[in-house]
Amino acid sequence: MDFGFDDEQELLRDTLRDFASNELAPLAATWRTEPFPHELISRLGDLGLLGMKIAEEYGGTDGSYVALGIAAEELSRGDFNVSYFLQLSTIAAMLLGDADESIKRRWFPAVASGDATVAFGLTEPGVGSDAANLTSTARRDGDEWVVSGEKASITFAGFADACIVFARTGGPGARGISMILVPLDASGVSRQVYQSAGGHLSQRGSLFFDDVRVPLDHQVGAEGAGFIGAMEAFDFNRAVIALACIGSALQSLDETVAYTKQRMTFGQPLAKREGVAFQIAEHLSLLHASRLLSYEVLALADAGRPHTTEAAMCKWLGPKQSAEAIHACLLLHGWPGYGTDLPFSQRLQDVIGLEIGDGTPEIMKAIIARETFGREFTSYK
């Protein structure tokens, strides 16, 4: 087993760490109150990050899942929220791979370049983890789909150009759900952006569809196969989420190590006090284990091997350990760590958001238990 990166992956890591430090970190606090500039989204496209799972013929780079994880980890050292662009562009690439050729020609180059952002519309009010019971509908009317319903807690709801909407086209349960690509400039679409403690850049919110009409060729994949598509997208993305959280936590620990070396108390640097140094040692150890588990998931995905259990493990463990590490860093900085001049309070609020998104800790544990004991022994199917 090889636990290191190859030369190309090392170069990607170094390049993105410099980019995160020099171009993202200095502006990260800005996006609490200002919109993220399109120029920076295009910059992500220029770096090849938004088309990592899009074929070269459509303007992508056709990269590996491990490379995607490296990108999420390193970008999050500069600005955790930028990792959302990697997540959503990759999910769009995976799902739209089953779309009509005209859809791929229209949207893939725009996603890869950063000219278009595609949202993932699964969650609804009252229907989060139990997504198989969603109530949004899409009905055929001549040569069009008519989409109705509300999608909640949608990343990039405030500015996405299109949304892959999971809607009921058949009977009850998972098998009645299909995917419909809906351009968000269509008549009948409206939006609401939430006020959240963290994740401001993502403009999380609701999308409303009031008899929105799109052509039949905007169906993505086979009718009734939407729920399966959603679940497959979750697996690899759970490792990407974990690595984004871990990158933010490791950056926080790096900063805290530097601070405790120079902060003097009672004539000695804080780093000499075991009550401080041992905390950092524990968090580094736990994050290292979470990080290796996350890259295992992505290596399994690259090899085309099952990774549902491991993905649930790292999605539970990575955000949890990251939030605890960042919290410790905040406390070790004292009152300045609690203020907004330092990044720890914002990082903590951002990471906590992804303890919820893409599956809560309870759902992750339920998946692990289901895969371990068998479906007949678990209440969550």
Span 246-279, pLDDT tens digits:
999 999 999 999 999 999 999 999 999 999 999 9
* Residue 381 confidence (pLDDT): 57
The predicted model scores a pTM of: 0.95
**Distance between CA 96 and CA 232 in Å, rounded?**
13
Closest CA to 245 of 323, 297, 299, 310: 323
- Same domain for 161 and 99: no
Q: How far apart are CA 184 and CA 207, in angstroms?
A: 9
> Which H or E element spans position 225?
none
What angle, 0 to 180 degrees and rounded to 10, lies between the N-to-C axes of helices 38-46 and 101-113? 110
Provide the domain count of the chain: 3
CA nearest to 163, candidates 145, 179, 147, 182 = 182
Last residue of a domain, one of 223, 242, 275: 223
Choose one of 88, 116, 144: the last residue of a domain: 116
Of the pLDDT bands very low, low, confident and very high (cuts 50, 70, 90), residue 380 is low
Residues 171 and 124 in one domain: yes
pLDDT at 79: 96
Q: Which of 235, 165, 201 is nearest to 353 (CA)?
A: 201
On whether both 50 and 72 belong to a single domain, the answer is yes
Residue-range definition of the domain harbouring residue 30: 7-116
Diameter of the chain measured on Cα atoms: 80
Q: In this structure, how many other beta carbons lie within 10 angstroms of the beta carbon of residue 33?
A: 7
Average pLDDT of the chain to the nearest whole number: 93
Q: Is the pLDDT of residue 56 over 60?
A: yes
Q: Residue 71 in contact with residue 84, Cβ under 8 Å?
A: no
- What pLDDT sits at residue 110? 96
Q: Indicate whether 141 and 102 sit together in one domain.
A: no
> Is there a single domain that holds both residue 173 and residue 193?
yes
Residue of 87, 94, 93, 69 lying closest to 16 (CA atoms): 69
Instruction: Mention every residue, 6+ apart, whose C-beta is less than 8 A from residue 275.
Output: none
How far apart are alpha carbons 63 and 341 in whole angstroms? Answer: 37
pLDDT tens per residue, range 121-131: 999 998 877 77
189 and 61 assigned to the same domain: no
User: Where residue 232 sits, what CATH number does that domain have?
Assistant: 1.20.140.10
Question: Is the domain of 145 the same as that of 131?
Answer: yes
145 and 64 co-located in one domain: no
Q: Domain boundary at 116, 138, 161, which?
A: 116
Q: Do residue 188 and residue 86 come from a single domain?
A: no
Q: Are residues 110 and 205 in the same domain?
A: no
356/345 Cα distance (integer angstroms): 18
Residues 43 and 111 in one domain: yes
Condensed to tens digits (0 to 9), the pLDDT of residues 62-91 reads: 999 999 999 999 999 999 999 999 999 999
